[in-house]
């Protein structure tokens, strides 16, 4: 069943083709978990890409050394001239990553195939496309939609565009403004009845 999107809102019209809603991301993770022996890994990849606004190449290059389980910190290594930073890891993410590490055994990279090689960006794109088809959300999806979903979710929950800029690693705030401009909640406090 497709996730409900309100009709007529700026986000649903202008950005429908570029990002996913939080409910759609949940549907994708649930579909990934049902896919068999790599389901937990794939669902965790989707979760981490979404929560941290990672590009596919940033996700696939992620190493265990970037994760500090003791302090709950992810050292985000950005590419494409973006600014690297640190993000807090929440309980759901920490539990999923610990489980993955326990089940997969020692490796340098977080996301490994059954052949003990890192998941490639192409492999992730293919898995994501299949999960999208199986999820029933009714959209042709691509992984960069997770990065956009992160940006829109944070913009809708916070008025701090500069913090969002740093979270996504944008060097220029113009790239971040697209999320703030379409945030449906930015006018909520203008009129009170």
Q: Which of 7, 37, 80, 192 is catalytic?
A: 80
- Separation of alpha carbons 66 and 24, rounded Å: 28
Q: What is the dihedral of CA 35, 168, 87, 158, to 10 degrees?
A: -100
- Active-site residue, 189 included: no
Helices (runs of H) and strands (runs of E) counted in the chain? 9, 3
Which tokens go with 28? 């994708």
34 catalytically annotated = no
Task: Based on the residue annotation, tell me whether 170 is a catalytic residue of this protein.
Answer: yes
Q: Of residues 35, 104, 144, 186, which has the active-site annotation?
A: 144
The verdict on whether 175 is a catalytic residue reads: no
> Which of the following is catalytic: 50, 152, 167, 179?
179
- The catalytically annotated residue of 147, 148, 152, 153 is 147
If DSSP codes are grouped into helix, strand and coil, which group holds residue 163? helix
Q: Of these residues, 55, 78, 148, 153, which one is catalytic?
A: 55
- Report residue 53 CA to chain centroid gap: 5
- Would you state the torsion angle of the CA atoms of residues 95, 123, 128, 178, taken in this order, to the nearest 10 degrees? 90
Query: Is 153 marked active-site?
Result: no
Query: Can 55 be counted among the known catalytic residues?
Result: yes
Coil vs helix vs strand at 33? helix
> Residue 70 is encoded by which pair of tokens?
């003791």
Region class of 158: left (phi > 0), else alpha (psi between -120 and 50), else beta:
beta
- Cβ atoms < 10 Å from Cβ of 28: 27
| Active-site annotation, residues | 55, 80, 144, 147, 170, 179
């Amino acid at each position: 069943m497709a996730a409900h999107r309100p009709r007529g809102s700026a986000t649903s019209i202008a950005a429908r083709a570029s990002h996913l809603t939080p409910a759609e991301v949940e549907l994708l993770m649930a579909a990934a978990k049902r896919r068999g022996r790599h389901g937990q890994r794939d669902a965790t990849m989707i979760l981490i890409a979404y929560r941290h606004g990672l590009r596919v190449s940033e996700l696939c290059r992620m190493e265990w050394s970037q994760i500090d389980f003791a302090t709950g910190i992810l050292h985000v290594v950005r590419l494409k001239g973006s600014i690297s930073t640190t993000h807090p890891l929440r309980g759901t993410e920490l539990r999923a990553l610990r489980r993955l590490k326990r089940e997969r055994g020692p490796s340098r990279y977080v996301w490994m195939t059954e052949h003990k090689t890192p998941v490639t960006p192409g492999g992730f794109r293919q898995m994501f496309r299949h999960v999208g088809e199986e999820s029933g959300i009714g959209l042709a999806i691509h992984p960069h939609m997770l990065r956009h979903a992160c940006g829109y979710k944070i913009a809708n929950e916070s008025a701090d565009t500069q913090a969002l800029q740093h979270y996504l690693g944008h060097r220029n705030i113009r790239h971040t403004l697209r999320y703030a401009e379409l945030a449906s909640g930015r006018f909520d406090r203008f009129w009170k009845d």
